[in-house]
Amino acid sequence: MTRSELDIIFSKSGDDSVLVEITGRVTDQNVKELQHDLDKAYRKNTPRVVLDVSGICFLTSAGLGIIMYFHTLMRKERRRLVILNSGDNPSLYLDELFETTNLDKVLTIVRQI
């Protein structure tokens, strides 16, 4: 995978959550793929979707908007979208992006599950 590609992997953690691991760059060219895959995770109807963003090196405003859309949608249903930014090398870029946009105060962002 080149740094310009997007890779999304699903796994299920018991009955209460779906893990969606994203690596690469979320650009205007592939943001629909992110939307489609988050929609698939959302439709699993688990109480929690964990979005692992540790491997993201770039995220457009459209990608950020999609994350916020699913956060709001799930919150209305009393479900949770949890942002996981962990591992040996968490995305400092996203930490800074969430802080700059004040979304660190809105989203549930964790270092480990």
How far apart are alpha carbons 76 and 21 in whole angstroms? 23
**93-109: pLDDT as tens digits:** 888 899 999 999 999 99
Position 82, amino acid: V
Which residues have CB under 8 Å from 12's CB, separation 6+? 18, 19, 44, 46
CATH number of 6-110: 3.30.750.24
18: pLDDT strictly greater than 60: yes
Longest Cα separation, the chain: 37
Over 80: is that where the pLDDT of 89 sits? Answer: no
Instruction: Name the band, by pLDDT with cuts 50, 70 and 90, for residue 79.
Output: very high
Q: Would you say 66 and 31 are in contact if contact means Cβ atoms under 8 Å apart?
A: yes
Query: Domain locations in the chain?
Result: 6-110
What region, left, alpha or beta, does residue 45 occupy, with left being phi > 0 and alpha being psi -120 to 50 degrees?
left
pTM of the model: 0.88
